């Protein structure tokens, strides 16, 4: 029941992202999608990914997009005059895409589609879980930090490049003169014995 | 049963995201639909759950770069319509 509630919320919110008139709403609805996706991941039993999803997707990505949207004066009402112009050709292409998907999808993995014959999926028990069951975090850490540590280090470099790129892209001409820089030699010439003094009385608490 | 629901859901979100990305005249809405696409792909990849962490990291990096590009475009052009960059046609 929870699965159907969360799934229907995902469906409706995904549609409302496209059809919302206010662009601020079209930034708020993916937040709902990410929440419901995190709930669906909890139902799948992936607890680590379900906890990472709100932190990264809502807390970082959606918040940054919200900043971008709030900074602009975006016109609220878009005139939807051109939406139906592409509908015949795109509808046919979309239907062909859906029809091809039924060829690719296997019958045993997706029994709820109309291409299913009467087959039951196999259930098997994993006995290694009963001996010592690892948490999701432990299995991830066992692989990610030991054998595949390069995979872990390269996204950190990618994020560093993204950070530098975002700063470089948005630094425009008027901040060239006002950017505070450090003089390296002056910074090295400071000796702490002359700059740090010891207070004997505390002015805040007596 | 759960896994199949999730796969169909991710396919649906992917198609909605592509539809919104193509037919949106606002740049911010296009970026949010791109995030929807990445989310759908992320759900689809969670059967082996190591790769989804990298997809999340790439989504975060792309979100920051995308919003930086959109904000600098807005600062130059003062509007966020997608079909305004027709300078190459002239």
- Taking the CB of residue A109, how many other CB atoms lie within 10 A of it? 11
Interchain contact, B9 vs A10, CB within 8 Å: yes
Can you give the pLDDT at residue A114? 53
Residues β-bridged to residue A52: none
Asked whether the beta carbons of residue B59 and residue A60 sit closer than 8 angstroms, the reply is: no
B81, B74 in Cβ contact below 8 A?
no
Distance of CA B31 to the CA centre of its chain: 5
Task: Render each residue's pLDDT in chain A as its tens digit; 206 residues.
Answer: 788 888 889 889 988 888 888 888 888 999 999 999 999 888 888 888 889 999 999 999 999 999 888 877 666 555 554 556 667 777 787 788 777 777 766 555 555 555 544 455 667 777 777 777 788 888 888 888 889 899 899 999 999 999 999 999 888 766 556 666 778 888 888 887 777 777 777 777 65
C-alpha–C-alpha distance, residues B77 and B84, integer Å = 9
**B82 part of contact set with chain A, CB < 8 Å:** no
Q: Contact at 8 Å (CB) between A34 and B38?
A: no
pLDDT, residue A84, reads 62
Q: How far is CA A46 from CA A102, B1, B41, in A?
A: 28, 16, 16
Which CATH architecture does the domain made up of A1-73 adopt?
Up-down Bundle (1.20)
Whole-angstrom distance, CA of residue B80 vs CA of residue A97: 31
CATH entry, B3-81, from 3.40.50.720, 1.10.287.3510, 3.40.50.970, 1.10.10.10: 1.10.287.3510
Instruction: Please judge whether B19 and A101 are an interchain contact, meaning their C-beta atoms are less than 8 angstroms apart.
Output: no
Task: Give how far Cα A164 sits from Cα of A8, A77, A83, Å.
Answer: 39, 35, 38
Which residue from A minimizes the CA distance to B53?
Answer: A49
Q: Quick check: B48 pLDDT over 70?
A: no
Which residues, including other chains, have CB under 8 Å from residue B63's CB and lie 6 or more apart? A60, A61, A64, A65, B31, B35
Cross-chain Cβ contact B8/A110 below 8 Å: yes
Find where tokens 């689809």 sit: B44
The alpha-carbon radius of gyration of chain B (Å, integer) is 16
d(C-alpha A130, C-alpha A136), whole Å? 15
Are residues A140 and B53, on separate chains, in Cβ contact within 8 Å? Answer: yes
ipTM for this prediction: 0.86
Determine whether the interchain pair B64/A3 forms a contact, defined as Cβ–Cβ distance below 8 Å.
Answer: no
* Contact predicate B5/A2, CB 8 Å: no
- The minimum CA-CA distance between B90 and chain A, rounded to whole Å, is 24
Q: What integer pLDDT is reported at residue A155 of this predicted model?
A: 94
Domain boundaries, chain B: 3-81
Top residue of A4, A9, A10 to mutate, by most chain B CBs within 10 Å, is: A10
Tokens 């005059």 belong to which residue?
A81
> How many cross-chain Cβ pairs, A to B, lie less than 8 Å apart?
167
How far apart, in whole angstroms, are the C-alpha atoms of residue A149 and residue A141? Answer: 10
Instruction: Delimit the domains of chain A by residue range.
Output: 1-73, 137-171
What pLDDT was estimated at residue A188?
Answer: 83
- pLDDT of B15 reads 85
Tokens of B64: 């920051």
């Amino acid at each position: 029941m929870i699965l159907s509630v969360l799934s229907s919320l995902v469906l409706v919110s995904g549609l409302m992202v496209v059809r919302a008139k206010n662009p601020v709403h079209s930034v708020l609805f993916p937040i709902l999608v990410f929440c419901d996706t995190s709930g669906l991941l909890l139902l799948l039993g992936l607890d680590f990914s379900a906890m990472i999803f709100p932190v990264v997707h809502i807390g970082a990505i959606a918040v940054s997009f919200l900043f971008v949207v709030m900074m602009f004066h975006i016109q609220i009402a878009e005139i939807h005059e051109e939406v139906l112009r592409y509908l015949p050709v795109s509808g046919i292409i979309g239907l062909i895409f859906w029809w091809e998907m039924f060829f690719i999808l296997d019958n045993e993995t997706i029994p709820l589609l109309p291409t299913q014959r009467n087959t039951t999926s196999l259930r098997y028990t994993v006995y290694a879980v009963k001996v010592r069951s690892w948490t999701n975090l432990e299995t991830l850490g066992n692989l990610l930090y030991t054998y595949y540590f390069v995979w872990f280090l390269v996204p950190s470099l990618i994020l560093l490049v993204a950070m530098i790129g975002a700063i470089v892209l948005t630094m425009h001409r008027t901040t060239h003169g006002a950017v505070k820089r450090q003089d390296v030699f002056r910074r090295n010439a400071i000796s702490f014995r002359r700059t740090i003094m010891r207070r004997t009385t505390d002015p805040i608490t007596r | 049963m759960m896994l199949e629901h999730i796969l169909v859901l991710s396919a649906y979100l992917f198609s909605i995201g592509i539809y919104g990305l193509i037919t949106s005249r606002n740049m911010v809405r296009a970026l949010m639909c791109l995030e929807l696409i990445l989310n759908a792909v992320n759900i689809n990849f969670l059967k082996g759950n190591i790769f989804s962490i990298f997809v999340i990291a790439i989504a975060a990096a792309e979100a920051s770069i995308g919003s930086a590009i959109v904000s600098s475009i807005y600062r130059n052009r003062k509007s966020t319509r997608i079909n305004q960059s027709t300078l190459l046609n002239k």
